[in-house]
Amino acid sequence: MSDSHSRDPHPSSVEDASRRAPRAQAKGQQTKAAIVDAALGLAAQVGLEGLSIGALAEVAQMSKSGVFAHFGSREELQISVIREYHARFEAEVFAPAMADARGLPRLRMLFDRWMQRTSDEIVSGCIYISGAVEFDDRPGPVREALVESVQIWLNAMRRAIVACKTEGHLPADADEAQMLSEIHGLILTLHYEARFLEMPGAVQRAHRGFANILRLHGARAQD
């Protein structure tokens, strides 16, 4: 006499379950993406330090347990926001510039796209800059995620400057570290002048500053 509990599942039941699993996973990923999007908007207003599961649940119109199920901790939420911000930064700034020719055309495009992104963030704020203020002296995974993201971007800019030397658009002895520091300084100054001090003409001064950096470091005139 056979035991009904030992029978194999009906094939159709197994197939139904296998079809439901990918759909459930996709829905979970969509929900998490929507939560991260809401968290980015919230972080722009209150900073990474101001993010909390409770505040995000209210903004996303979800339960705290629903948000917690996707992240598990406030720290994981903060890191997810940093990674998403970095992905969008790369898509808007880095990726389009790769279509330009190596050397000065690409470096100029990287700066122009960076400036455009910065100009758009004068109202909302930059997570890289606000995060540096919040976590500059606070070791831990959130600070590490911030540092890694900023270093990836600055390394990309440094490679673009080195390519200018390789292509003969800058002198071979041009100091790429100095140029990078000066270019980065323009972006930080723009944020301070435009967002904090609300000084008119900050964007135009940053563009003139970039042209001055290229000239002072011996950039070759482009046709």
Give the number of domains in the chain: 1
Running DSSP on this structure, what letter comes out for residue 4?
G
Residue 56 lies in a domain: yes
Q: Assess whether pLDDT exceeds 70 at residue 25.
A: no
Yes or no: say if 132 and 146 are a contact pair by the CB < 8 Å rule.
yes
Confidence of residue 135 (pLDDT cuts 50, 70, 90): very high
Residue 221 lies in a domain: no
Percent of the chain with pLDDT over 90: 58
The CATH number covering residue 209 comes to: 1.10.357.10
Residue 29 lies in a domain: yes
**39 vs 53: CA distance, rounded Å:** 10
| pLDDT average, residue stretch 61-87 | 88
State which residues form the domain around 29: 12-216
- Single pTM value for the model: 0.81
Residue 1 lies in a domain: no
Confidence of residue 15 (pLDDT cuts 50, 70, 90): low
Confidence of residue 84 (pLDDT cuts 50, 70, 90): very high
Residue 87 lies in a domain: yes
Count Cα atoms within 13 angstroms, Cβ side, for 31: 16
pLDDT in tens, 166-220: 999 999 999 999 999 999 999 999 999 998 999 999 999 999 999 999 999 999 8
Q: Assess whether pLDDT exceeds 60 at residue 77.
A: yes
Q: Show the tokens assigned to 189.
A: 């100054």
Q: What was the pLDDT predicted at 1?
A: 47
| pLDDT average, residue stretch 26-44 | 83
Q: Assess whether pLDDT exceeds 60 at residue 2.
A: no
**189 vs 205: CA distance, rounded Å:** 10
Q: What was the pLDDT predicted at 55?
A: 86
Q: What was the pLDDT predicted at 63?
A: 84
| pLDDT average, residue stretch 78-90 | 93
Residue 119's nearest CA partner among 197, 178, 206, 59 is: 206
Q: What was the pLDDT predicted at 205?
A: 96
Residue 223 lies in a domain: no
Residue 4 lies in a domain: no
Residue 117 lies in a domain: yes
Q: Assess whether pLDDT exceeds 90 at residue 17.
A: no
Confidence of residue 107 (pLDDT cuts 50, 70, 90): very high
**195 vs 179: CA distance, rounded Å:** 24
Torsion angle (degrees, nearest 10) of CA 216, 192, 35, 38: -120
